[in-house]
Structure 1
Amino acid sequence: MNNEILQLHGLRKVHGDDRTGVVALDDVSLALPAGTFTAVMGPSGSGKSTLLQCAAGLDRPTAGRVLVAGREMTGDETELTRFRREHIGFVFQQFNLLPSLTVLDNVTLPLRLAGKRPDRARAIEILERVGLGDRIGHRPPALSGGQQQRTAIARALVTEPSVLFADEPTGALDTRGARAVLQLLQQAVRGYGRTIVMVTHDPVAAAHADAVLFLADGRLVGRMADPTPDAVAERLARLGDDVARDAVRAGE
């Protein structure tokens, strides 16, 4: 049985004309097994966010294929929206919670948008798992940043997505809040079998993942299993030096 929950085949993304535009992704292929936590890192402009957006169906690649849970992500915007609601969860740096809704109502909102009757008992169970069982009636402005991000993660988990994409999920948090969120993401993978792909610039955050993929100039240039903050930081520094050196040579 194929255990690869996310597959990218020859992904290419060009902003502008295909011949003269900016190449954000250049023939990226990868396959990620179910129940894994993968961080994506690289120098500024390496294509990290573009990779996440194309893999998550938020942007269309210029060429290549994206498969989630064995199904190719194709079709018009209505079909893509339906596909994302059924298979994909999102966590962003900004929490994107509705301030007028309670924590519980924010968490069940994706189900209501999909035309499903929310299972309040299950939503409460998830909120209890993320440490917010005593906050279900609160509204986001009454929560700390870390609590708001945990609410956003609960909202993403309630639909049981095939893949959860996280874009700099700890970027707006202090150290304590970031640690709690990263531990929660680990728990979602190891305790409940979720699959997470996280874009981050932080070596400490990346070290919570099972593996780190490195991008440079829109290409996959390396992979690190069992990452540590020091090893990730060293690899990023080398990538940054290589990119700077190539830029100088291009200008000669």
Structure 2
Amino acid sequence: MADAVRLEELRKTYGTTTALDGVSAAFADGTFTAIMGPSGSGKSTLLQCAAGLDRPTSGRVFIGGTEVTANNDTAMTKFRRQRVGFVFQEYNLLPSLTVEQNVVLPLRLAGRRANHSRGRELLRSLGLDKHRNNLPDQLSGGQRQRVAVARALLTEPAVIFADEPTGALDLRSAREVLQLLRAVVHEHGRTVVMVTHDPVAASYAGEVLFLADGRLAGSLRAPTADAVAERLAHLGELTGVAA
């Protein structure tokens, strides 16, 4: 199985603080991986560097076989818009645009023709077709996050990075979004890399990678919420930081 994303010896420093300390990892095509760790472990920094939102101090990032870190900032931005999808905790939908306009926005930002038929197809598949002319503030939090997933899928990206995608949702909406992300992997064949602090959310992934003090601290396949919570508690004890 080919790697959708490969990280080689990533280091990221902010002054005298080391956020990532030589992290290497690979995320295969068609997999769902959660990244977890205590506060300050480097998980959000890892996602930002892997997604091309931030540049590591050293090390290399490959997405779909292309070394993203070899590009200048302009080329990195262009590549990211074409090959990477994002789902954020706060949805990042533009309030003045309709649902459909938000979904096709990545194509417009990339200088391509807005494919409204593809956008409507995605909205239908996610049960949102009747809301396509609504503004985001007319939707529930779970519906807005589903719009964000549709937007992430529009460009058929090599990978979707999700940063705390259920952090602002109630339990029912969170479960629906997590089931949707799992379907994105199993039915659409996409790769999802998700940062979360929630053991229940992590249990929807096929594998969990744990970080502590900017380094990989183990993994867990076919995770359960209880097993993830136990591993996190152990990491917190080792680092002296609450998870």
CA distance in 1, matches of 2:100, 2:139: 13
**Partners of 1:121 and 1:65 in 2: CA distance:** 37
Map 1:214-225; keep pairs closer than 5 Å.
214-225=210-221
Q: 1:84 aligns with which of 80, 103, 111?
A: 80
- Deviation for aligned residue 1:115: 1.3
The one-character-per-residue Cα deviations of 1:150-182 (angstroms, maximum 9, x if unpaired) are 101110100111010000000000001101100
1:113 has 2:102 as partner: no
Match of 2:44 among 46, 49, 57: 49
Post-superposition offset of 1:38? 0.2
Partner of 1:33: 28
Q: Runs ≥4 in structure 1, deviation > 2 angstroms?
A: none
User: Residues of 2 paired with 1:206 and 1:45: CA distance?
Assistant: 18
Identity, % of aligned positions: 62
Query: Is residue 2:161 matched to residue 1:139?
Result: no
Letter in 2 for 1:59: D
Query: What is the CA–CA distance in structure 2 between the aligned matches of 1:5 and 1:101, rounded to whole Å?
Result: 31
What is the TM-score normalised by the length of structure 2?
0.97
Residue in structure 2 matching 1:130, options 112, 126, 132: 126
Q: Which residue of 2 aligns with 1:23?
A: 18
Q: Which residue of 2 aligns with 1:250?
A: none
Aligned length: 240
Gaps of 5+ in 1: 246-252
Structure-2 separation of matches of 1:116 and 1:12? 34
Once the 2 structures are TM-superposed, how far is the Cα of residue 60 of structure 1 from its aligned partner? 0.7
Q: After the TM superposition, which of the residue ranges 136-145 and 120-129 deviates more from structure 2?
A: 120-129
- Output one character per residue of 1:20-69: Cα deviation in whole Å (capped at 9) or x when no partner: x1010011001111000000000000000000000001111011000000
User: 2: CA distance between counterparts of 1:50 and 1:139?
Assistant: 32
Aligned AA (1:14)? T
Could you give the per-residue CA deviations for residues 157-215 of structure 1, whole angstroms, max 9, x where no partner exists? 00111010000000000001101100100000000101000000000000000000000
- Distance in 2 (CA, whole Å) between partners of 1:198 and 1:26 is 20
Residue deviations 1:113-140, cap 9 Å, x none? 1111122111111111111111111110
The aligned residue for residue 184 of structure 1 is 180
Instruction: Provide the rounded CA distance (Å) in 1 between the counterparts of 2:105 and 2:161.
Output: 18
Which residue matches 1:14?
A: 13
Residue of structure 1 in register with 2:228 after alignment? 232
Aligned-residue CA RMSD (Å): 0.9
Counterpart in 2 of 1:170? 166
Q: Which residue of 1 aligns with 2:199?
A: 203
Q: Which amino acid aligns with 1:72?
A: E
Kindly provide the amino acid, as one letter, of the partner of residue 50 in structure 2: A
Q: Name the aligned partner's letter for residue 150 of structure 2.
A: A
Q: Render the CA deviation track for 1:193-248: whole Å, top value 9, x for unaligned.
A: 01000000000000000000000000001010000000000000000011118xxx
Q: Which whole-Å CA distance do the structure 1 matches of 2:94 and 2:179 have between them?
A: 25
Q: What does 1:60-79 correspond to in 2, within 5 Å?
A: 60-73=55-68, 74-79=70-75
TM (norm. structure 1) is: 0.94
Secondary structure at 2:30 match in 1: coil
Which one has the largest radius of gyration?
1
**Which string of whole-angstrom CA distances, capped at 9 and with x for unpartnered residues, describes residues 91-124 of structure 1?**
1101111111110000001101111112211111
Correspondences of 1:94-113 after superposition (within 5 Å): 94-113=90-109
Question: Distance between the aligned counterparts of 1:31 and 1:244, measured in 2?
Answer: 28
Q: CA shift at 1:75, angstroms?
A: 2.1
